[in-house]
Amino acid sequence: MAAAAAGLASIWRLSHRLRPLQVISFPVLQLHMSRIAMGGSQKDFEMAVNQVKRLKNEPGNEVKLKLYALYKQATEGPCNMPKPGMFDFINKAKWDSWNALGNLSKETARQNYVELVSNLSASEPSSPGKPGAGRKQAGYDTLVVTSEDGITKIMFNRPTKKNALNHQMYQELMAALEAAGKDDSAITVITGNGDYYSSGNDLNNFTDSLQDDIEKSAQNAAILLRNFVGCFIDFPKPLIAMVNGPAVGIPVTLLGLFDIIYASDRATFHTPFSHLGQSPEGCSSYMFPKIMGSAKAAEMLIFGKKITAKEACAQGLVTEVFPDSTFQKEVWTRLKVYAKLPPNAMRISKQLIRNMEKEKLHAINSEECRVLQSRWQSEECANAVMNFLSRKAKL
Ligand SMILES: CCCCCC/C=C/C(=O)SCCNC(=O)CCNC(=O)[C@H](O)C(C)(C)COP(=O)(O)OP(=O)(O)OC[C@H]1O[C@@H](n2cnc3c(N)ncnc32)[C@H](O)[C@@H]1OP(=O)(O)O
């Protein structure tokens, strides 16, 4: 594994030092050698391919593999290479990554590639004119946090895990929100890197709970969850979600605590708690019926109905839906204008709206965590998690 990591790092370094034709293994450079079928977003794709060469931040092996896989899928279609031997670490990692894309269409792969590069560029140091860009703040592994133009952007950054929230990400999100609440930006935006907004709680978080001291683990998780959701209840500034793709579980339920939710038309909203032997959190047991009416909320929270961005908008959960191809551009343009409004006035208005219900929301949060603490110790929950982890079930 260490050898693979070192190998990939060196490919990345080389691809930045050498002239394109000298490097044959990295996908961006293969553009010079192959002419690919033209499609709707081909131009964006070619621009993204060029943009990758200019990235200054080292994106990490996970992201590089994702870029590689999306490039290959976009230009050649499903993986068509023989599987490399188990000791051929680098090629095996690349093959795995490409092969994992299955039958994803070339067009979707192209779009995902463009989106991934756009997110990577947004977190580059000082990219003039790039909305939501700015210097990347240090101290986060699972997030990319940037501040510019009066906007602090917090981006989930585990794209190869569909931005699932592991324990570290919960902790880092709390720290990022704490800092964003106090910094000099006017608004805060949360979004996801890659094709997902977030696939929710990382189900590996449960492996601890399924070991010896289940009761203690469930208690600790409930405390973590209560504090985490508490940060959203108490967040003092306008909080905006840019839902760039599908969202599952807690990133969906938390939306009830945001002030504005903009969604790509690729986004879906899914809260499969019963399927997972669990129950709603993020104050959704109160906010969802309030936002969309009890019948629609029950369909989502009890029966796990997945809804589209358009449906979520019709039900009042989402503020506005944008075509995926223009999502980033349109939303950032709008947010940059909002961020120029007097920050104190915005803050005070937000607090007026929120303070009416703050106490109630904290009480609901505590109750949801109490119920979940017991759910996490149930057989229904253990079976659902084990099924996912042993790859027997996906949503
Ligand atoms: C402190 C505790 C607080 C708890 C709070 C309570 C929160 C509750 C919830 O959030 S409930 C929702 C939990 N989420 C899920 O059940 C989603 C599970 N994931 C899936 O069903 C699928 O992965 C998918 C539908 C999201 C995407 O499917 P697909 O497009 O086919 O991709 P892959 O499944 O191949 O995923 C790629 C890669 O990511 C890993 N992964 C995705 N989601 C999760 C996840 N939630 N937990 C852990 N890992 C996840 C997946 O395993 C793959 O990894 P691999 O490449 O195999 O290493």
Q: Is the CB of 391 under 6 A from ligand 1?
A: no
Helix (H) or strand (E) holding 372: helix 358-375
**Per-residue pLDDT tens digits for 258-280:** 999 999 999 999 999 999 999 99
Q: What are phi and psi of 322, to 5 degrees?
A: -125, 150
pLDDT at position 122: 64
C-beta 221 within 6 A of ligand 1: yes
Question: Mean of the pLDDT values across residues 38-65?
Answer: 77
Provide the whole-model pTM.
0.73
pLDDT tier at 111, thresholds 50, 70, 90 = confident
Ligand 1 lined by 27 (C-beta under 6 Å): no
List the residue whose alpha carbon is closest to atom 30 of ligand 1. 162
- What's the confidence (pLDDT) of residue 124? 62
**CA–centroid distance, residue 248 to ligand 1 (Å):** 8
Separation of CA 70 and ligand 1 centre (Å): 19
Question: 28 pLDDT band (50/70/90 cuts)?
Answer: very low
Distance 110 CA to ligand 1 centre (A): 23
CA atoms within 13 A on the CB side of 298: 3
> How many A from CA of 150 to the centre of ligand 1?
33
Tell me how far the alpha carbon of residue 254 lies from the centroid of ligand 1, in angstroms: 17
Closest residue by CA, ligand 1 atom 49: 202
pLDDT in the model for residue 47:
83
Q: Whose CA is nearest to atom 23 of ligand 1?
A: 394
Mean pLDDT of all residues in the chain? Answer: 85
- Does 203 sit in the ligand 1 pocket, CB within 6 Å? yes
Quick check: 14 pLDDT over 70? Answer: no
CA-nearest of 194, 189, 178 to 134 is 189
Ligand 1 in contact with 164 (CB < 6 A)?
Answer: yes
Q: What are the pLDDT digits (tens) for 215-229?
A: 999 999 999 999 999
Check if the beta carbon of residue 257 is closer than 8 Å to that of residue 241.
Answer: no
Q: By alpha-carbon position, which residue is closest to atom 3 of ligand 1?
A: 225
3-class SS of residue 37: coil
Q: What is the pLDDT of residue 8?
A: 30
Is the model's pLDDT at 389 over the cut of 50? Answer: yes
Type of residue at 381: C
CB atoms within 10 A of CB 378: 13
From atom 51 of ligand 1, which residue's Cα is the shortest distance away? 161
| Residue located nearest, by CA, to atom 9 of ligand 1 | 249
pLDDT of residue 131: 47
Beta strand segments in the chain, E: 135-136, 143-148, 151-156, 187-192, 239-243, 247-248, 260-264, 268-270, 307-308, 320-322
pLDDT score, position 20: 28
